Amino acid sequence: MQIKNGFEQSVYAICLLSMLPAKSVLPGEAISNQIGASPTYFQKILRKLADSDLITSVPGKKGGFKLKKTPSEIRIYDIFLAIEGQQALYYSNNVLGEMIHKKDKEACVLSDLMERAETSWITVLKSETISTLFTELHKEKDLQDWVNQNLVQQTNNQN
């Protein structure tokens, strides 16, 4: 399994958004430049995050993105699902069944092991939130300075 770059970029984009003061947004282009993603590609990522109700888009000249939930409500697994979708990490190709000529019934001694591994992996991702990462990122003064320089203050009539 190879997790897409978009997952890592999404986690850090949400971390950046978690550093915003109230009534502020970050433009998508500024975020994509900061994390090193192409703006066109990153717009698709932002759309997936918005469609998953993790972030919200504020339209207009002073628009951008902000969190829809608090950092403690956003699990790393939620971001994974938004970007990667929900699919099993392992699918048996019935290699063992072919080796022992059991084509009518799948025989895979690896399936149980892989299912347990996937369950453990998901449990870990569900147990960690953006808050956990935010605590570490908040120590990075340069990153907070970047957020402060790139944020767009919203007026009262905007979300």
Domain boundaries defined on the chain:
5-84+129-153
Q: What angle do CA 111, 116, 120 make, to 5 degrees?
A: 145
pLDDT tens digits for 18-60? 999 989 999 999 999 999 999 999 999 999 999 999 999 999 8
| pLDDT score recorded for residue 158 | 54
Task: Name which CATH class applies to 5-84+129-153.
Answer: mainly alpha
pTM here is 0.81
